[in-house]
Chain A
């Protein structure tokens, strides 16, 4: 089989993780970034650096957009216009209108569009979805999703508090999972706390508290936080209940290997990274394999729900979300 050609746009932390994963999935990658960091990143992983977006897209099977959110729209539309498939780091776009435009363009052009919602590839969430899809939770009743993390770098960009600021990225994980498990969301209420506009300092603290009402009547409570210290760097927990029982998870539960009463040093084992499972699944789809576990519709839903949450937090009103299909 011919090697998949991927144009990776951006050279920051997410680009690095995606690049590693694409190489593990057997793809050939050309990297472009307009911040001058592409060459170093490409060299480190034996990829190619190219000088322009056009050069990157030329002959590529797919683009992987890992730039700041504000530039996703322009790059995605350029790729779609050339018939190049799109993988896009979350959120798909800064506004619902831009996200809708990207999804509509992709559908018109018949171009595959996959958002990089990596948490769907983490074993705990993938297994939760399998259980729910197999009917082992019965009809969904209520869920809580708790996601917190420490942001190890200063926040760049100019996202207003009104747009959700630094909480958008964190909230997206939780609402995407709630939507994946319980389906369409029709009403959103949110309280956002903290200095959430960007730029923001490393370790900026904030909390978003969201209540989702699903079309089925099921309810989700999502609390997304940025914490003051990296102890732990990331914490995720959920509790989902339905007529078939409950499913619970806490990332603090020990998995296969753990070092205690001493220093772990570099020693550790975490299994396959979700990014690798994710890019392998996307690569197979681009090569004509089965459709991956998420697509354009999910990207759009996640943007709609997070933007509704930001709007609710700003206005103090619950926001109704009409269920609408992409035209």
Chain B
């Protein structure tokens, strides 16, 4: 099957290129026409370094009839690229952050529906076997009746803009999977810029969500100076709680080379699991991961969270 990686703008683009290049049965093409000229980490220079086929513009990419695309462009190009992918009948795996508004996510979803193609969002923790075990356990009643969820995803300051938009979708996807798509009814959020280098861009957000079924969830989406972890969520029921950590500490210690804490992550390479699942789904017509409707539910919560942070009051979400 032919897979196209659309743009190298996202910091994970190279991860996808390497994984897809090494997957048997995948014919990989890449394009990065919006790259700044002369940037050695972008465009043809990167493709050559990775030894993969490079096409000069989007027209060439879609004329090459890809079966599937991975969208790793800037968020504000998602709508345009995914509309073209839908028209070209190519399945879509889209990186976060999401298109900038819920309206745009709806447009993406509609173009994939029209093209009859699968739309999945790149939420790696969602794809892990460990998380599948959590979902199964909760469905089988290990925690009793699920009442409360709390989670966190903290990352080092850097690329990706505000911590709320960058980190919240990954947590929402996990909760959405466990709640079977129950939509949010009310969202409250507070933010600050304590660690932010850019005025008006939040470095910390605490978000509380009440879902229609009554489950209450709260999330810490912030930047932190501590070593990176992954999304972690605790599901609390009336009989027990289950803690899921997508990227736990396997080894700790001190690293003299960096003068910093050592943190070797445990678990498996989730990007590899996700990419394999996305490619295999082309054959099996199944496939894991948050779909367009889940992405839209998440985008609505993110939008409401920003509104709540602005107004200082909870925001009700209509039907």
- CA A124 – CA B266 in complex, angstroms? 8
Q: Say which size band chain B's interface belongs to.
A: 35 or more
Q: Do A255 and B143 touch across chains, with their CB atoms under 8 A apart?
A: no
Chain B contacts to A: CB under 8 angstroms = 128-131, 133-134, 137, 140, 142-144, 237, 239-246, 248-257, 262, 264, 266-268
- CA A249 – CA B254 in complex, angstroms? 12
Taking CB atoms, residues of chain B closer than 8 Å to A138 are 256
Taking CB atoms, residues of chain B closer than 8 Å to A71 are none
- CA A230 – CA B133 in complex, angstroms? 25
CB distance from A198 to the nearest CB of B (A): 35
Q: Do B249 and A269 touch across chains, with their CB atoms under 8 A apart?
A: no
Given A127, A243, A256, which contacts B264 in the complex, CB threshold below 8 Å? A127
Given B131, B137, B254, B267, which contacts A246 in the complex, CB threshold below 8 Å? B254
A323: interface (CB < 8 Å): no
Q: Which A residues, 249 to 267, have Cβ-Cβ distances below 8 Å to chain B? A: 249, 253-265, 267
Given A123, A246, A261, which contacts B240 in the complex, CB threshold below 8 Å? A261
Q: Do B240 and A256 touch across chains, with their CB atoms under 8 A apart?
A: no
Dominant secondary structure of chain B at its interface with chain A: mixed
Extra contacts, 20 of them, besides A256-B128, A256-B246 (Cβ < 8 A), are: A127-B264, A131-B264, A136-B255, A136-B257, A244-B257, A247-B262, A248-B253, A249-B250, A249-B252, A254-B243, A255-B248, A256-B130, A257-B137, A257-B243, A260-B240, A260-B242, A261-B240, A262-B142, A262-B144, A271-B267
Q: A253-B249, A254-B245 are in contact. Are A245 and B254 (CB under 8 A)?
A: yes
Taking CB atoms, residues of chain B closer than 8 Å to A136 are 255, 257
Q: Do A245 and B252 touch across chains, with their CB atoms under 8 A apart?
A: no
Taking CB atoms, residues of chain B closer than 8 Å to A131 are 251, 264
Chain A contacts to B: CB under 8 angstroms = 123-124, 127-128, 131, 136, 138, 239-240, 243-249, 253-265, 267-269, 271
Taking CB atoms, residues of chain A closer than 8 Å to B239 are 262-263
Q: A246-B262, A267-B137, A269-B130 are in contact. Are A259 and B268 (CB under 8 A)?
A: no
Q: Do B266 and A256 touch across chains, with their CB atoms under 8 A apart?
A: yes
Find the residue from B129, B133, B254, B256 having the highest chain A CB count within 10 A: B256
- CA A263 – CA B239 in complex, angstroms? 8
- CA A248 – CA B251 in complex, angstroms? 6
16 contacts between A and B (CB under 8 A): A123-B250, A127-B250, A136-B257, A244-B257, A247-B251, A247-B253, A253-B248, A255-B245, A256-B245, A257-B130, A257-B134, A257-B245, A258-B242, A258-B243, A262-B237, A269-B134
Q: Do B129 and A269 touch across chains, with their CB atoms under 8 A apart?
A: yes
- CA A71 – CA B252 in complex, angstroms? 41
Q: Do B250 and A244 touch across chains, with their CB atoms under 8 A apart?
A: no
Q: Do B251 and A124 touch across chains, with their CB atoms under 8 A apart?
A: yes
Taking CB atoms, residues of chain A closer than 8 Å to B250 are 123-124, 127, 249, 255
Given A259, A268, A269, which contacts B241 in the complex, CB threshold below 8 Å? A259
CB distance from B187 to the nearest CB of A (A): 27
Taking CB atoms, residues of chain B closer than 8 Å to A123 are 250, 266
Q: Do A245 and B253 touch across chains, with their CB atoms under 8 A apart?
A: yes
